[in-house]
């Protein structure tokens, strides 16, 4: 690989967006939500809520809330989620591997450190050879002639043959791996929480991934032309409510899509994912929806085809550290924003209370 010929692809930079306009096509898939996002820095989006959208935060908590001191908090006052800051969030893509991936070896930290001897192992999952509808053609040049590369990251790189390069650095594996698209593969992650009416603890809907047996947010890929609010509702139904995949829109899915219109944007950009390669990587839009008691009671959790298990899981210091990929960081950011909106705080054991 001729690293000396790496250059910037200005045509796929993610421009700053101004509310209330919808995101421009080159900034990634349209989200169809009330908030717009400016990705001036990777991992540090600035969200603006459109004036016509009123965001109401409903909190179901016990009548007597405990007092939680600063040192008892799950996240300290003024905490910063470092995994979402520029330059961070590229460790699992260098050290962990997706299902059936080859060993990554010891790839360089950055593209600048990659010398001509850097020869990553090429790997693409056998399913890609069947040309599934969700994947690019196998020939990279043909694939890129059919569509324009888009990304939430403000700067993209390409190699000597015009191949897109992972914006966070080498991974030790070339090709698409388990991912279908060259460059960014877009997903949506719904962080759905409640305050348990009896224990008073903050919980989230979580799945156990079948492929790696890790706890995760029940997210999924954004279909072409699909609104993010639709993706969030569809994936929640498919993975946690027993809805058959692509089985048609149900009344509950429509209701969830309406509910996600009030969701709080949490993050948009690169995901530190074990499936990432030098030429394909995950990017996501993560949104947080907090349910009141009545809304949460209407959900009958049933695992879907992509999940080994699904449940309401307490959000604690321990559980955040055990989550798949960047998901723990997304939930941390959701908790920080929810505390600011609600005026409540979350303890290290998940207890919701008032500041001491």
Q: What is the 3-state secondary structure (H, E, C) of the chain?
A: CCHHHCEECHHHCCCCCCCCCCCCHHHCCCCCCCEEEECCCCCCCEEEECCCCCCCCCCCCCCCCCEECHHHECCCCCCCCHHHCCCCCCCHHHHCCCCCCCCCCCCCCCCCCCCCCCCCEEEECHHHHHCCCCCCCCCHHHHHHHCCCCCCCCCCEECCCCCEECCCCCCCEEEEECCCCCEEEEEEEEEEEEECCCCCEEEEEEEEECCCCCEECCCEECCCCCCHHHHHHHHHHHHHECCCCCCCCCHHHHHHHHHHCCCEEEEEEECCCCCCCCCEEEEEEEEEEECCHHHHHCCCCECCCCEEEEEEEECCHHHHCCECCCHHHHHHHHHHHHHHHHCCEEECCCEEEEEC
The residues, any chain, with a CB within 8 Å of residue 355's CB and separated by 6 or more, are: 67, 68, 70, 345
Residue 347's pLDDT is: 97
In degrees and rounded to multiples of 5, residue 287 shows phi and psi of -130, 145
Residue that wins the pLDDT comparison between 152 and 235: 152
| Tokens at 10, concatenated | 């200005």
Q: Quick one: what percent of the chain has pLDDT higher than 70?
A: 79
What's the mean per-residue pLDDT of the chain?
A: 81
Residue 59's pLDDT is: 54
Residue 58's pLDDT is: 56
Please, which residues bridge with residue 1 across strands? none
CA 286 – CA 33 distance, rounded (Å)? 12
Residue 178 has pLDDT above 70, yes or no: yes
Question: The tokens 């540090």 sit on which residue?
Answer: 44
Residue 247 has pLDDT above 80, yes or no: no
Highest mean pLDDT among 17-31, 248-262, 274-288: 274-288
Residue 245's pLDDT is: 54
Residue that wins the pLDDT comparison between 257 and 243: 257
Mean pLDDT across 148-171: 91
- Select 3-355's CATH number: 3.40.50.720, 3.40.1160.10, 3.60.15.30, 3.90.79.10: 3.90.79.10
Residue 161 has pLDDT above 60, yes or no: yes
Residue 7's pLDDT is: 39
255 and 25 in contact (C-beta within 8 Å)?
A: no
Residue 251's pLDDT is: 79
The pLDDT tens digits for 180-221 are 999 999 999 999 999 999 999 999 999 998 777 889 998 888
Q: Quick one: what percent of the chain has pLDDT higher than 90?
A: 53
CA 31 – CA 1 distance, rounded (Å)? 36
Residue 210's pLDDT is: 79
The residues, any chain, with a CB within 8 Å of residue 78's CB and separated by 6 or more, are: none
> Cis peptide leading into 20, omega within 30 of 0?
yes
Residue 21 has pLDDT above 70, yes or no: no
Residue 55 has pLDDT above 80, yes or no: no
CA 173 – CA 141 distance, rounded (Å)? 19
Residue 243's pLDDT is: 67
Mean pLDDT across 39-52: 39
- Read off the pLDDT band of 50 (50, 70, 90): very low
Residue that wins the pLDDT comparison between 10 and 279: 279
Residue 12's pLDDT is: 37
Residue 48's pLDDT is: 40
In degrees and rounded to multiples of 5, residue 101 shows phi and psi of -70, 150
Residue 343 has pLDDT above 80, yes or no: yes
- Read off the pLDDT band of 237 (50, 70, 90): confident
145 and 99 in contact (C-beta within 8 Å)?
A: no
Task: Go through 290-303 and write b for each residue having 16 or more CB atoms within 10 A of its CB, e for each that does not.
Answer: bbeeebbeebebeb
Residue 253's pLDDT is: 80
Q: Pairing state of beta strands 121-124 and 173-177?
A: parallel
- Read off the pLDDT band of 19 (50, 70, 90): very low
Residue 57's pLDDT is: 53
């Amino acid at each position: 690989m001729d690293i000396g010929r790496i250059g910037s692809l200005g045509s796929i930079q993610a421009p700053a967006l101004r509310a209330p306009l919808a995101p421009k096509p080159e900034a990634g898939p349209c989200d169809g939500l009330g908030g717009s996002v400016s990705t001036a820095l990777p991992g540090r989006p600035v969200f603006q809520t459109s004036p016509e959208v009123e965001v109401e935060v409903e909190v179901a908590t016990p009548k007597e809330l405990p007092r939680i001191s600063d040192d008892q908090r799950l996240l300290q006052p003024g905490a910063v989620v470092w995994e979402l800051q520029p330059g961070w969030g590229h460790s699992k893509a260098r050290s962990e591997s997706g299902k059936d991936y080859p060993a990554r070896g010891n790839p360089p930290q950055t593209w600048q450190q990659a010398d001509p001897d850097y020869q990553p192992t090429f790997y693409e999952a056998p399913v890609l050879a069947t040309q599934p509808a969700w994947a690019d053609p196998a020939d990279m040049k043909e694939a890129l002639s059919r569509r324009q590369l888009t990304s939430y990251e403000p700067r993209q790189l390409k190699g000597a043959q015009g191949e897109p390069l992972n914006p966070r650095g080498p991974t030790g594996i070339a090709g698409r791996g388990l991912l279908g698209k060259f460059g960014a593969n877009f997903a949506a992650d719904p962080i759905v929480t409640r305050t348990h009416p009896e224990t008073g603890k903050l919980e989230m809907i979580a799945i156990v991934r079948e492929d790696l047996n890790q706890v995760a947010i029940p997210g999924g890929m954004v279909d072409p032309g699909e609104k993010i609010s639709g993706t969030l509702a569809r994936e929640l139904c498919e993975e946690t409510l027993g809805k058959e995949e692509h089985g048609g829109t149900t009344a509950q899915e429509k209701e969830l899509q309406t509910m996600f219109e009030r969701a709080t944007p949490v993050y948009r950009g690169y995901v530190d994912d074990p499936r990432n390669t030098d030429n394909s990587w995950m990017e996501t839009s993560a949104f947080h929806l907090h349910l009141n008691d009545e809304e949460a009671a209407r959900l009958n959790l049933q695992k879907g085809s992509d999940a080994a298990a699904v449940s309401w899981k307490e959000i604690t210091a321990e559980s955040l550290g055990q989550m798949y990929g960047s998901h723990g960081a997304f939930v941390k950011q959701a908790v920080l924003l929810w505390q600011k909106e609600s005026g409540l705080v979350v303890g290290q054991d998940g207890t919701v209370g008032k500041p001491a």
